[in-house]
Amino acid sequence: MTVTAMALLFAGSFLASLLLCGLARRLLLRFQVMDRPVERSVHAVPIPRGAGLAVVPILTLLWLFLPAIDPAAKPLPWPLLIGTLLVGITSWIDDLRGLPPLPRLGVQAVAVILGLLALADLPPLFQGWLPRPLDLALGGLLWLWFLNLFNFMDGSDAVAGGQALTIGLGLAAIAIDHDWVGLTAAQGLALAGVALGFLAWNKPPAKIFLGDVGSIPLGYLIGWLLLWAASQGAWAAALILPAWFLADTTLTLIRRAWRRAPLLEAHAEHSNSAAIRLGHSHARVAGLALIANIALALLALGAERDQQELIGLVGAAATVWLLLRKLKYPPKPQAPETEGAGPED
């Protein structure tokens, strides 16, 4: 795939997402599909939710027809397409009128099992350390966890979109470096372009949210990309790229389990939401997260290029620790400006 073709793919996916997210916003406003503030919200005004109605179809269509642009790319496998439709439809119903957690989880599990059919012919996800049935079963559990944690972290402006952007660019760079066949830079660039188009509407102050119809299917598709990368030997990158989301949601779940808080109940204890409640602005949280995610993408690329997985993982742990520490405490109060003060003689 030429550099020109990659640039056109990225630009085209960005423009399609930008335009269709704007159209989706108008329709959602017209039909009053809104995210209305509740006690755990970090937004004060109703905001349209459902950008996934634009983002997910664009991404799936691009992945379906990628071989026409890049002969080395494989089209979206049909089991994965069916799985995306299942979680997308269920999540849209949940956005409109709500669904209990267990039926949602059941549909997601079916979608993951379907997706595993698309991974069954690939090399082992865990590098041959486990028997094949256990390898796929553990991969499926991690996938189910990832698509939910992606939804959990979609609580403040530009966070989920920024994560999708850096994962897409990171995987694209690694695919180019490794000259992968099947999963190529095209998949990553399409993901990054679509995410950037959404971010134009979701940057602080957000004008639209993904909704469950966006965050769940997007987490599902990104999870498949990460598992595919792990099967090609890039297991460290698959852990490093989403390291903040992985660490934050896992630590939050452990804390809630320790307190015996309901694990399936919605809450605002993730670091991005908690930071905003402490007084950080959406822009500051999104900016800090983006800086950390760019650092994680560079660490993932370096770990795979130089086969320094351990160094990359240690660097990722340090990066996530610094980000969580920054978000844990209230922002420092700014000193008031002194009025009428002139230069000293």
> Is 212 marked as a binding-site residue?
yes
- Cβ neighbours for 247, distance < 8 A, ≥ 6 positions apart: 317, 320, 324
Residues near 343 by Cβ (< 8 Å), separated by ≥ 6? none
Phi, psi of 75 (to 5 degrees): -70, 165
In sequence order, the 6+-apart residues with CB closer than 8 A to the CB of 137 are none
Q: Is the bond preceding 217 in cis, omega lying within 30 degrees of 0?
A: no
Maximum Cα–Cα distance across the chain: 79
d(CA 220, CA 88): 10
DSSP state of 314: H
d(CA 41, CA 26): 23
Query: Which has the closest alpha carbon to 170: 273, 244, 65?
Result: 244
| 302 contacts 308 by C-beta, under 8 angstroms | yes
Two structure tokens written together for 280: 């950080």
Residue for token pair 């350390």 = 129
**Residue written as token pair 């939804």:** 151
C-alpha to C-alpha distances, 48 to 19, 33, 52, nearest whole angstrom: 16, 6, 11
CA dihedral 84, 119, 14, 243 (to 10 degrees): 100
Is 179 annotated to bind a ligand? Reply is no
H or E, element range at 48: strand 47-48
Residue type, 177: D
Q: Are 178 and 236 in contact (CB under 8 A)?
A: no
Binding-site members for Mg(2+) are 151, 212
Binding-site members are 151, 212
